[in-house]
Amino acid sequence: MAEIRNRRRGPDFMVRIITFFNIASWLVIILALFIYELTHGSGGSYSSIRLTILDFTIGLIIVKVLLVINFLFCIWGMAINMTRHKRKADRFSLSLILSAAVSLVGFILMMVIF
């Protein structure tokens, strides 16, 4: 009986893009948290935390923009994942869904609190 060769050479281009979206989305969330921590500070009085209100508001705007961009980035990645989902073994990326949820909740909290 003839032996069947496995001609697959690893993940295809779409799977690599989805993996890139996963990694990039979490890096953006970490960057947003880092910027928020730099602008917000911890401890001390109100005036010592916010030496200039301009720096604080610019930092918050940057964090909000990063969270919105990340949410749109995750939606785009999920759309690519849905078009790729053709085989029985294909799975949806839970990381993209969690990253989109974290970005959306973070943006909503930023809008409500600040």
Instruction: Report whether 28 contacts 68 (CB < 8 A).
Output: no
Instruction: Report whether 11 contacts 81 (CB < 8 A).
Output: no
Helix ranges restricted to H, the chain: 13-40, 46-49, 53-84, 94-113
| Phi, psi (rounded to 5 degrees) for 8 | -70, 140
The token pair at 97 is 């869904």
What Rg do the C-alpha atoms of the chain give, in angstroms? 20
Q: Length of the chain, please? A: 114
pTM here is: 0.77
Distance of alpha carbon 28 from alpha carbon 68, whole angstroms: 10
Instruction: Report whether 62 contacts 35 (CB < 8 A).
Output: yes
Q: Tens of pLDDT along the chain (114 residues)?
A: 567 776 667 667 887 888 899 999 999 999 999 888 887 665 556 665 555 555 778 888 999 999 999 999 999 988 988 887 776 666 788 999 999 999 999 999 989 987
How confident is the model at residue 82, as a pLDDT? 84
For 89, which DSSP code?
A: T
Count CB-CB contacts under 10 A for residue 81.
21
